[in-house]
Structure 1
Amino acid sequence: MNIKYIGALMSILLSLSLQAKDKALVIDMTKAKVGDIPLSKFVSKLEYIPLELTKESLLKEPSIFLTDRYIITTEFAGKICLFDRKNGKYIRRLSQEGGGPDDYAHLMTNCTLDKERNVFYVDIWRKWRGIDIETNKCVNEVVKPEYRYIKEMRFQQKINNLCLYKDSLYLGFANDEQVNDHCALYVFNKNGEVLKVIDNGLQAPTFKSSRSSCYNAGWFQEVGGNLYFSGASDNDTIYLVGEERLIPSIAFHFNETLGKKYETGKFDFGADDVEMVRRYKKGFLSYWRIFQMDRYIFFACSEWEGLSSNISFSNYYDKRSKQLYSCKREGERCGFVNDIDGLGTFFMEQLDGNKLVGLLMPEELLDYMETHKDVKLSPTGKKVLENLQFDDNPIVVIATLKE
């Protein structure tokens, strides 16, 4: 075959390969099957771990992290607690708020768990501090790029979360809307030195505060050795993080009824205090808690009407059947129905391997049982409800997914 034709063929194949790589999976929200979604549809087993309540471990609405041995809870502007992974017994505080060498500043930003090294990263204003879970001692500190370059006034966008990257490097979503008109990912080392900027081409959020601030932390998830990123809750695309650019991986499709529609207007919060805010029309969907794995994609939506009124509902997409399922919109929070043990509604918090992790809030569960007296409880469900009080700590629910 003529070498010229071989070259042309190679060029065409490379072009097709790049097109296939850039082709995102489209999830059409208009084609969802809407209704009650039973957990038994995609869950094979449920595990319940009540978190022990003590004077030291009183929790309100915690975020949770799992290791093989521990459950770690954090609270906004609160504390970090360590519980036994098997029985939920309270062990101790993880680090403490303060100015010491092993302390953290106020828990105002996202924490990061390095599962492989058993290190938990917390914010200390100019740095992130890595606390060894076993010893409660600082074993690593990572300088924030904005402080590394403060004299040069470069890379001054704020990063509200720390993502562990390859080769002992770190990744952060730099999206300070007062500093720049677009967002980007910074790749940097522990000294805060920026080695690469991956510009995602996205505009900064429309919302503008009167002060420089980090509007959204962004979202990272590793699946099958690949790192994925989504910029904000109102972004309709999930990207694969490439070496030089972000590659669209999952895109959510809307129509006029279920659309990303908003308008910018003025809202008066008081005399001479007028700020630009988002005023959502009915039908605006925001996305959060997006978890993907080989077979399933789980995500939660909020459908907005007005400035603060919204309905939150859970969804999942089955890649095998190419079908999207959405929970029926009834009430303010609509989750998956626990038909396995009869214990109310399951709201997902995170994905841990092949397990969806959620929290059962005792007050919500007992209210549910009061209004659903005819629900069929399994022996496990009855045991969970034994001696349960309204003001108890949350119950961690671990749902093992079907293959």
Structure 2
Amino acid sequence: MTYKPLFLIGLAFPLFSCGGNKQAEQPEEAEARVLEYPVTISFDKGIETEREVLLSEIAKEVKIVPLETRPECLVAKVNRGMIQMVDHNLFIPCSEGLLQFTDDGKFVRSVAKRGQGPGEYNMIRHIAVSDRLKQVYLMDHGKVHSYSLDGTFLKESQIPFCWQFTLLGDSIYAGYIYNNTGQKKDRLILVDQKGDTLKSFPQYDQFTIESGLNYYLWGRYDRYVYSYKDEACCKEYYNDTVFTITPEELQPRYILELGKYKIPKERRFELLEGNWQAYSEPARAYLRPDFLETSQWVFLPYATWDVTNKDERPQLAMYNKKTGECYKVKDGQIRNDMQGGVSFYPAVRVADDVLLYYWEASELLELAESIPAIRQNEQLKKLKDDDNPVVMLVTLK
């Protein structure tokens, strides 16, 4: 696979990629271990040990799925970190709307369209889902629209401006506020479906940007708040601690020990006011892990903070919740010994135990030149460069 970092002046979007010598311990062989929060993950020590990981060791099902290509469901400019799944339904927000596909790639419907009427939106800022309630939620400017899985618009709720959001219980939205100015008052707010703010958690990370300009630095798959089973959680990239969000407090859930890989505050892109020359080379010494929590594993896709380095190939670490082990995955990819031949990189978690990787059709066809097994997939034999994207869905054991 090839991975292409993209960046703009003042804005940066590193494109995180894809798969490890000693075999990873089989889940069924691992001794059960009761987690007591907060759990400490020694990331800095863990990545000193490298293991090859086979997909069959962690997965019970693999699907390589081309999304159906029709004029009414053309997929473009996807925010890949937003993709979510409920039952067998994939919800993909893109420039064309919030599109619903089955997990076999069949187009179901456009859940919402742009406009001013009931259930219509001006911009898809973020989406969330409730697996228990079988609903999908779309955050627009200052409001959240709720829909059932059959596309029925259910209600509209007010919400203050947020960067991302997730569900806390059945009726509370947990909104995350990105501190791009260094002076934001709140980091998280809890809002009920009437639009009333129930609780706010103050921003701890204050700093001053002398020019007064706003600078952003984020990855294509970034997710600052997520739902896991019946809990809402928050993970920030400048903070070592992942929190469980409750109506009363933020409870430490995981502590990532980054050690020498933690970027110092004075070396941050925002504090250097977008000066790439001063930022990029020193940033290569520090690592920026994502955080994908599943029932047995925490997947930690990571790259350096030097998002301008086009030659860098992002890596992968895994933490076994049963054994407490953390290690680097060989070659940064999970070797696929199940279906399709292409190695797997867990770019986004779309449900509690379902992981996804996403290709443009042209990218996968280019990859198929070196991995002919890709073309042996019946669904991919007629794939064309301008077809809709292809997703790889991995359901874990």
Give the TM-score, by structure 1 length: 0.74
Measure how far apart 1:176 and its partner are.
4.5
Residues 1:326 and 2:345 are matched in the alignment: no
1:175/1:182 contact within 8 Å kept:
no
Partner of 1:366: 365
Q: Please say if residues 315 and 327 of structure 1, whose CA atoms lie closer than 8 Å, have aligned partners that are also in contact.
A: yes
Task: Give the conservation status (yes or no) of the 8 Å contact 2:318–2:329.
Answer: no
Residues 1:27 and 2:42 are matched in the alignment = yes
Deviation at 1:243, TM superposition (A): 4.4
Q: How far does residue 296 in structure 1 lie from its aligned partner after superposition?
A: 0.9
- 1:68-126: CA deviations, max 9, x gaps? 24322112x442222234x322233222112222211122x211223333433223322
CA distance in 1, matches of 2:63, 2:54: 16
Taking the aligned partners of 1:209 and 1:397, their CA distance within structure 2 comes to 44
What is the 5 A alignment of 1:93-242?
Answer: 93-107=110-124, 109-137=125-153, 139-145=154-160, 158-166=161-169, 168-178=171-181, 180-181=183-184, 183-199=186-202, 202-204=204-206, 210=212, 219-231=224-236, 233-242=237-246
Is 2:390 the counterpart of 1:395?
Answer: yes
Does residue 79 of the first structure (1) align with residue 97 of the second (2)? yes
1:67 to 79, 86, 99: 86
Q: Is the aligned partner of 1:248 residue 2:263?
A: no
Judging changes above 3 Å, is the alpha-carbon distance between structure 1 residues 305 and 172 closer, same or farther for their aligned structure 2 residues?
closer
Letter in 2 for 1:223: Y
Q: 2:272 aligns with which of 237, 262, 265?
A: 265
* Equivalent AA in structure 1 for residue 323 of structure 2: S
Distance, in Å, in 1 between the alignment partners of 2:323 and 2:45 is 16
Count of matched residue pairs: 350
Which one of the candidate residues 277, 280, 283 is aligned to 1:281?
283
Note if 1:92 corresponds to 2:109: yes
**Pair 186,255 (structure 1): closer, same or farther in 2 beyond 3 Å:** closer
Long gaps (5+) in structure 2: 1-34
Q: Which amino acid aligns with 1:58?
A: L
Q: Per-residue deviation at 1:338? A: 1.9
Q: Decide whether the 8 Å contact of 2:183 with 2:207 is kept in 1.
A: no
- Matched to 2:156, the amino acid is E
- Structure 1, gaps ≥5 residues long: 1-19, 146-157, 270-275
The residue identity in structure 2 corresponding to 1:236 is: D
Counterparts in 2 of 1:80 and 1:224: CA distance versus 1, 3 Å: closer
Identical pairs, percent = 18
Shift of 1:239: 1.2
Contact 2:166 2:227 in 1 (8 A): no
In structure 2, how many angstroms separate the alpha carbons of the residues matched to 1:204 and 1:115?
Answer: 36
TM superposition score normalised by structure 2: 0.75
Structure 1 residue 267: Cα displacement: 4.7
Residue 344 of structure 2 corresponds to: 346
Contact map agreement 1:159 1:214 (CA 8 A) in 2? no
Q: Note if 1:317 corresponds to 2:319.
A: yes
CA distance in structure 2 between the partners assigned to 1:193 and 1:213 by the alignment: 30
User: Aligned pair in 2 of structure 1 residues 242, 72: CA closer, same or farther (>3 Å)?
Assistant: closer
Q: Any conservation in 2 of the 1:31–1:324 contact (CA below 8 Å)?
A: yes
Distance 2:166 2:246 in 1: 15
Contact persistence 2:226–2:232 (CA under 8 A) = yes
User: Could you give the per-residue CA deviations for residues 284-319 of structure 1, whole angstroms, max 9, x where no partner exists?
Assistant: 21232x222332111211213375555422322112
Letter in 2 for 1:239: F
* Letter in structure 2 aligned against 1:49: V
Aligned amino acid, residue 47 of structure 1? K
Tell me, yes or no, if the aligned pair for 1:346 and 1:360 is still in contact at 8 Å: no
Q: Distance in 2 between matches of 1:128 and 1:58?
A: 24
SS at match of 2:365: helix
**1:329-368 deviation per Cα after TM superposition (whole angstroms, max 9, x unaligned):** 6xxxx43332322432323221423322333443233222
Q: Distance in 2 between matches of 1:358 and 1:299?
A: 14
SS at match of 1:172: strand
Aligned-residue Cα RMSD (Å) equals: 3.5
What is the one-letter code of the residue matched to 1:395?
A: V
The 8 Å contact of residues 64 and 340 in structure 2, kept in 1 or not, is answered as: no
Q: Go from structure 1 to structure 2 and tell me whether the alpha carbon gap of 1:317 and 1:169 turns closer, same or farther (over 3 Å shift).
A: same
| Rg comparison, structure with higher value | 1
